[in-house]
Structure 1
């Protein structure tokens, strides 16, 4: 039997090492390519962000100077000098600077801008396309001098249209219409014929800061969590109030105040106070006469008790026990002698007639049968009430007593004749 020795497997180990080196040799270019692509992508992203920063500066510059621009060439140095770019703004990762041409569209009258990079190194076509696709807005590139192509072929233009030079191997950016009207700051100037440049498209949060020196503010609604102070009139819908002294609030043009609710105060004074209901939680005092325009008829129903009115003649009526009655001392239903055949208003002749219980509820309580006694040609006799003067012990109130014949006796004495 052959004896196994340690050096018998050396050939196999060499083969394994050789195979591993071959695999590494094949994979190395692939790994390097991936790393190179990743590094290039970081470079392209940085170039796109750099272009965006310049583009925002151009938008702000044009928005602030729209009224004075028609055609112009703008450079990085000009934007830095006027504060639209920081002093530290340098060239792009490819060593590019920027130049922008501005023109006015002959049809719309609006400004258009084209920016091209200048100087530095040329970028390959693949890099140009990838950078242009990452620029916010209308990014582009040049594959030929003066000819600008938008990302993904979205648009084309010529640098000569804007009086600038655009060389191949560089990127470009185009802005037109509303792109040049947008700014990250509130537009501060009025442009003739362009009110849209001073129009907000969102709310403003002042972050607890103030707005001062407003000449006029207009809108639909206003909500305040604190006080509203005015040194002059407040004019709601043509009316308004002011306070020219420490005591009185005055209505503009001496206008009246109306409300479906209540007006309440410690003291209410005036020449005329009108409304559906005037209520006082305390005493109601009139410095002159109290005029009552509420007309009622004595004996008719009323509610609630305590109302005060008058009849057609001006006599005061009060609502008592659900019916209007006068202020005289006679209770309702009491027979009253009257020196005339015509009773005063609110009174009835006692002719034995029936009356409406619902219309005269208080009178019905005195005469439950809703019929008045007939007192024509009779005398009113007081109720005996057990005294014994009335021969009829069972006589009731409101009963009628006819003539009564009584037995009379008399003793006559005759003088004796003298004999």
Structure 2
């Protein structure tokens, strides 16, 4: 503490909140100033606290409103999901009850249903809500209208032989009323029911698909119009319905334990639709009403390819081609050998041609068969005809006189033409011992015929005045 006292001087005292000494006479004045400052400070602090309270209240209120909005949104969403789940579960429970009721009814009335289906259009008969309730299969309070406003139909499909084999397929399917249905509701109901349930979607309104693709039907197969969010139950798929025709259910996925579920027992009528994306077709035969189009792979056959019409193409390569009709090619037909039990026929001034040697046979008029390219004709055999006509006949058979030969042959010796007479080569001429292409005439003075070796002469009548003619021919 600062000592403000000096001796007996009492004019100075220390002020409580000051670090300096002031004359006491100024105490009152200073105290007043201090009080005013203190009061002013208090007033400022009061105003600050009041303003601060107002600001904090507004911020806190905004935070509370934001939290309430977020909580309300989450709560509404959560509540909506809860309500949807309850509706879905209610629809699933109802469908399970109906499925069980229809299954029990089908067991107890199998014969009647099978007979009715066998004579009904499309082999489909129906079971009414009254039938189920009167038989005690469904409670009187039960309804066939689900929480989405859709009404279920109960259909029983048989076949032409179902009256005998007693095989039927009960099916529960809703109508196309989707006014209260949201996308995905049908699938969620099917998921809650299990394997027997199915549904349609907006992408495939014409196809009822079983859960996990266990089964699939076209709605037209059951006489139902296409619509999204259809809910169905394949009662015949439920375990325990032994008499149902499970073999008629064609699975999309392979089941190694039940290969028969992937096997068709009847013809497939595609109704003008296509089969696409197939890897391989195998079978006994194929009957097409129009053209068969094949890509780069071509057509491969270990047997015969038979056509009653035309087989055409740029190239045909085969071990054997058999046709009861014509085979037409706008290009070439190439092969090792060609056989025919009838004619090889050509049109125009064409015929057979050797691609290698440039010759062949052809006809350019109605009289002559000609050698193409002025080629010569050669054969070690015989050429036979009524007449042989030419500019000249030349023999390349060397025939020395007196040599042996075959009758009728023509040869040459030097510059002479040799003929085979009685197995001996002889030259042509009129002298005795020679051969002439024709007989010769000798004129004598009497009617006695002359004698020449190898010739026989006969009197052929009078010659000039007193002479006689004798014709001599080779013996």
TM superposition score normalised by structure 2: 0.35
TM superposition score normalised by structure 1: 0.39
Structure with max Cα Rg: 2
